[in-house]
Amino acid sequence: MLEAVNVTKYYNSLCALKDVSFRIEEGEIVSFLGPNGAGKSTLFHILVGLLRNYTGDVFYKSRKVFPFKDRGYRSIVGFVPQATFLERELTVEENLRIGALLYGVKNHREVVDSFLRRFDLFELKDRKVEHLSGGMKRKVVIVKSMLHRPRLLFLDEPTTGLDVNVRHDIWNLLIRISKEESVTVVISTHYMEEAESLSDRVFIMNRGSIVVDGRPEELKSLVGRYVVEESTAKGMIRRYFDSKDDAIRFMNDRGMEASTIRLREVSLEDVFIKVTGENERDSSNLL
């Protein structure tokens, strides 16, 4: 459905994306996972038509498109940026109506009313945005991006800065949108749990490239099923095993003290560390 082939982007001499290629199927929820600066936002800005002067090709349903100048393509794209672009002194309903008018939505009053009711915002329709919580503002932005009924919905780190309970609410909203609206949802995130919980497939990015991709369970199987973490004076050492018995046998053979070790199942963070050779928290910032 959506395909990128060797997409590369430079900012002067700095390479933000290098030969990025992938294919996303219709109806999937996919995540681009990586640290801040891995190139996720740059990639999204190209795909939604906010950046030009890149090399490589973008295809939608096998048709080559130029997102920056292709109005037909942009009409089927919804985008939720990191920043919450809402008019603070206007109400929820007023913000959605402005969005609908900008999208050129026909019968915009009826459409906005329908979305307010369907996505549990009707009771808040007369409340000013400045009086909403951070999580509710994000929900309004997401609903606003759906008013023209896009086929592709891009969300750039949609839950950054929100607490865990609100993040789960946003996840449920995105799953609902995907199913009820038959929308292909594409998310960038640096939250490992978010990518694992939401996604049919995950693309792990680092330093402007996709280093590995697959279903969450497939990716975790690349490093093993269980991890033994050992806290040492030099830092945390992780060892990976295919079975719990092998992990326990290793700990017993080494005579490890319970206070310095932990046995757990493999997570996407382990995959990231293994395939990139660095801890996600310590990755240097790129564009």
Residue 285 confidence (pLDDT) above 80: no
Q: What per-residue confidence (pLDDT) applies to 128?
A: 97
Mean of pLDDT values over 96-117:
94
Q: Tell me how far apart the alpha carbons of residues 180 and 174 are, in angstroms, rounded to a whole number.
A: 10
Q: Tell me how far apart the alpha carbons of residues 63 and 119 are, in angstroms, rounded to a whole number.
A: 33
Domain architecture of the chain: domains with CATH: 2-211 (3.40.50.300), 219-282 (no CATH)
pLDDT tens-digit series, residues 200-225:
999 999 999 999 999 999 999 999 99
Which of 158, 182, 188 is CA-nearest to residue 170? 158
The residues, any chain, with a CB within 8 Å of residue 209's CB and separated by 6 or more, are 17, 18, 19, 20, 39
pTM over 0.75: yes
Q: Looking at per-residue confidence, does 277 or 65 come out higher? A: 65
Q: What per-residue confidence (pLDDT) applies to 279?
A: 54
